[in-house]
Structure 1
């Protein structure tokens, strides 16, 4: 797998799959499907249940007023499944309800700013509802639970009624949400975290113009790092090693309330949960002294709007929208920049025959090794008990 420098030359067994078995196995493992015209795949090939994918996605058509809105989203969960499951099950309906209340019948011209604000507010309100469920467990707030022993708090929060509410706050997820209006003229992209959206437009020359429509919200982004430093003056450790509080890479997310609530909530509530935190680069003991003036993570989405060509236009160019979790980015990152990767995504999704007509499957195949049957076979069949690639989810839509 190219990891010998880290593993002392360890080797793992894999099976080389011939075609067409290899393509069929890729489609099976990635659950390649088409939903309302959107091509979708989601892959985590490691069979260990503890390595099960924390990616989720949703594709829905909403009839609001007299028109049909197209919704698609990818959620990349981390540190557990509780928050990402709650998000995919509930956030789409929250956005739909807010949109219906904002645009009314939908018969008049759509106000782009109204829709943008609607999406942003709905996402933030959803995250705030998650922490509100936690706070409702102790209506008296810090004054109430500070008087209780650890044993008393543990009995309350680990009950069947309350445990999942606490775990949602301890876990987190990124969010990439897109919306297209009934006229097919307007596209909105809302993002928190490091999933990406790229729009490809066919040019008259036959080539593709590719635009990145999402911001990479992580500590390596200078603007995001500076935003956090400006919000926490004098706190040198608010950003360490390109990570928030030296621990989490992303700077915007849903959940992750360790980074949003005062330290006492972690000391007295989160650390009394039977199910613990799951960190990869830092311990709670390291993080907590740096939690001085929360919140450090933002739940405010970055919104971009793009005007698409009218669907009834005679010269309407072919357009393709690609949404992906950061697993796809990682599969290309060693080879090219994000912009070049996006250009490669569009090329892979629109050319070739791998994937039997599913554009997302064609793109996933290219990322795993393309026509190199041995390379793709390794990625799908290597016999390891820990994950060897990140969860990877792709949605492809045509306009």
Structure 2
């Protein structure tokens, strides 16, 4: 029987026993199936302003050499503008470039296709910057010469100009998988979402491979890269954050960290709607000495699935919300993606699993304590979000689902 309880923060929630608990999770996560691909996306906070900033794309493209599949998970931050732009433009950019490459005739090398993904993601980011710079020709000196009223009149037109500015002010991670008819898989990652390949060997054992990179301020390699690009700037990474402000080290958008400070103080700070926490913006602007600090160059990995010799294989794409849930439930550090990936593959490889794979993985990652899971799903009178947006895409590549 459902009963009202209070969590450690004093917020009221409804304790739901099974099967009501799983029913409520399914309602909130809206599991869907697209052929061999299962998807679920969860943000239980009902406050309209806190709706999920995660996005996913699942597409099939019948091309010259067969059916290609394009899949993406994008985790927006600071707003919806950039992530919406990415999912509206990136798939078409990749498809157009792939069609052109296939028209040149086979064979296409893994590097050819990888370059398509790398260039498409970078081009989307470059396009966002171009739209801004085109509004203010002449560079920083020209921006400095304009009054606040002049700038506000340009950027707050309530139409195309406003949209261009907001895309610069917000940001998005990007995780893309491109799957060929021959089961070549390319994964491009920008940010801290995670891709994991699970392969079942003839022995019955499952093997897990992480195909993404962890572009985050807790990653030693990323910190070393940023420090090497900004010698002498001790605070280019501070408290595991770029300039002490943002956790991801690579993303589309976020031009506060890619352009000189004057673009933030004169343009972004005059835009409406502005930043949610403008006081925090001022805190790190003094560290913005030699931009860019964030990169839009993705990490690429390619694998030919049949060459792995497995009898079954699937691919998981997940936003970092699943990483957070998994770390709490399974007891591992989020800086250990191989540990989490291995656990995801183990969960999805269970023989008794028959429901939507993405929803199944989210449910398992939330744990088995009905009180704890209920407190995540049914909190009342609490306007802010209490868990991260969580999106999972699971694709069966070969073998039975």
State whether structure 2 residue 170 is matched by structure 1 residue 179: no
SS in 2 for 1:309: helix
TM-score by length of 1: 0.92
SS in 1 for 2:44: coil
Listed one character per residue, the Cα deviations across residues 263-292 of structure 1 (whole Å, up to 9, x for unaligned) are 111121011112222359x71222111111
Cross-structure match for 2:118: 120
Out of 282, 299, 318, the residue aligned to residue 302 of structure 1 is: 299
Is contact 2:77-2:172 (8 Å) kept?
yes
State whether structure 2 residue 378 is matched by structure 1 residue 381: yes
Out of 325, 329, 344, the residue aligned to residue 331 of structure 1 is: 325
Q: Following the alignment from structure 2 to structure 1, what is the Cα–Cα distance between the partners of residues 119 and 228?
A: 23
Is contact 1:65-1:105 (8 Å) kept?
no
Is contact 1:36-1:60 (8 Å) kept?
no
Q: Following the alignment from structure 2 to structure 1, what is the Cα–Cα distance between the partners of residues 8 and 43?
A: 24
Q: Following the alignment from structure 2 to structure 1, what is the Cα–Cα distance between the partners of residues 16 and 8?
A: 24
Cross-structure match for 2:15: 16
Stretches of structure 2 lacking an aligned partner (at least 5 in a row): 1-5
Q: Following the alignment from structure 1 to structure 2, what is the Cα–Cα distance between the partners of residues 79 and 127?
A: 16
Is contact 2:201-2:310 (8 Å) kept?
no
Cross-structure match for 1:3: none
Stretches of structure 1 lacking an aligned partner (at least 5 in a row): 1-6
Q: Following the alignment from structure 1 to structure 2, what is the Cα–Cα distance between the partners of residues 8 and 210?
A: 36
Cross-structure match for 2:262: 264
The structure 1 segments of at least 4 consecutive aligned residues displaced by more than 4 Å after TM superposition are: none
1:105 Cα offset (Å): 6.1
Q: Following the alignment from structure 2 to structure 1, what is the Cα–Cα distance between the partners of residues 356 and 7?
A: 39
Listed one character per residue, the Cα deviations across residues 252-272 of structure 1 (whole Å, up to 9, x for unaligned) are 000000000111111210111
> 1:1-399 residue pairs with structure 2 within 5 A?
10-104=9-103, 108-161=106-159, 162-184=161-183, 186-279=184-277, 283-309=280-306, 316-334=310-328, 335-336=331-332, 337-351=336-350, 357-370=355-368, 372-383=369-380, 384-399=382-397
Cross-structure match for 2:3: none
Q: Following the alignment from structure 1 to structure 2, what is the Cα–Cα distance between the partners of residues 27 and 109?
A: 44
SS in 1 for 2:41: strand
Q: Following the alignment from structure 1 to structure 2, what is the Cα–Cα distance between the partners of residues 352 and 330?
A: 25
Is contact 2:230-2:236 (8 Å) kept?
yes
Cross-structure match for 1:4: none
Listed one character per residue, the Cα deviations across residues 301-337 of structure 1 (whole Å, up to 9, x for unaligned) are 0101111107xx9x75201111100000011224114
1:377 Cα offset (Å): 1.9
1:179 Cα offset (Å): 0.5
Listed one character per residue, the Cα deviations across residues 199-219 of structure 1 (whole Å, up to 9, x for unaligned) are 111022212111111110011
1:11 Cα offset (Å): 2.2
Q: Following the alignment from structure 1 to structure 2, what is the Cα–Cα distance between the partners of residues 64 and 279?
A: 46
RMSD: 2.0
Is contact 2:171-2:254 (8 Å) kept?
yes
Equivalent pairs counted in the alignment come to 385
Is contact 2:199-2:310 (8 Å) kept?
no
1:230 Cα offset (Å): 0.6
Q: Following the alignment from structure 1 to structure 2, what is the Cα–Cα distance between the partners of residues 131 and 36?
A: 37
Q: Following the alignment from structure 2 to structure 1, what is the Cα–Cα distance between the partners of residues 23 and 43?
A: 16
- 1:331–1:9: structure 2 CA closer, same or farther, 3 Å change rule? closer
Listed one character per residue, the Cα deviations across residues 88-121 of structure 1 (whole Å, up to 9, x for unaligned) are 1111111111222223266x23311111111101
